[in-house]
A = this chain, B = another copy of it.
């Protein structure tokens, strides 16, 4: 086995070409509140549609650091260990996770490429705030937030995905009828790339508006290396759709969209859906997506309005 490469923060900053990368991080539990309205999800944070945020990150491309450390034959995953530990029901869980080596290398192994993984020490032009992982964190664009490990302590290139609790057990997806009492953790779908989502941010649920022209706004994001190609809004349950305006965004970055509707007086249910670069769109209902950990709800996002 190779001798481990050990780097101080200063060495990391001096010895590697820094890259500045826009990336939108999103929790796998974003929009869990809608799942909870179907059935309870005990023990998990009831996130609304706000467990997502965008920043500019500056740091060293992971590909460059792995190039310096050397990658051995047979390696397929890159595991990150954070310096924090989560206490949950009296048990202590060190935090960590992994990404496939292919993602970590993002093509050529030396300079940063779109979608590549960053070892970041700056967020929006400032040193990382403590709660965002000071002094160093991982940023994995297009992946569930849990893989962007904060307070990074060590990196290990290995054959298998991380056996850390947050990779090997938590952050797995199960069918709706499986619960904590009968779960077989080995059969869960191990989360990685984010699924396609879009939400209506304004107007808010239950708002009253003057009848007539209404502007609807929200965000949309495609997971992995994909882009959002279209966002649509319906007021008739999906029979017709108004195509929203949105600016193109690279993979791993959300797009903010806006649509103009003409709403007659009365009660309306608005819903939005996005389409990604592979012509996938979002599921219609929340119910068939329910899972006992409350992950990856990307059903059409709905808002009820009254126009008067």
Contacts and interface: CB of A to CB of B under 8 A. Distances in A.
Given A232-B175, A279-B173, A298-B280, A238 B288 contact: yes
A296 B281 CA distance: 10
Given A175-B232, A175-B240, A284-B285, A193 B224 contact: no
Contact of A176 (B240, B284, B295): B240
A124 interface: no
A234 B287 CA distance: 13
The copy count of this chain in the complex is 2
B224 A226 contact: yes
Interface string A271-285: 001010111111111
Interface of A is mostly: loop
In this complex, the interface size class of chain A, counting residues with CB under 8 Å from chain B, is: 35 or more
A287 to B, nearest CB: 7
Nearest to A288: B238
A239 B284 contact: no
A221 B273 CA distance: 22
B192 A278 contact: yes
Nearest to A289: B281
Contacts of A278: 192-196, 223-224, 226
A155 interface: no
A107 B107 CA distance: 6
A2 to B, nearest CB: 24
Residue among A273, A281, A282 with most chain B CB within 10 A: A281
A275 B175 CA distance: 11
Contacts of A8: none
A229 interface: yes
A142 to B, nearest CB: 8
A294 to B, nearest CB: 13
A191 B280 CA distance: 10
A229 to B, nearest CB: 5
A216 interface: no
Residue among A230, A232, A279, A281 with most chain B CB within 10 A: A279
Contacts of A296: 279
Contacts of A284: 283-285, 288
A241 interface: yes
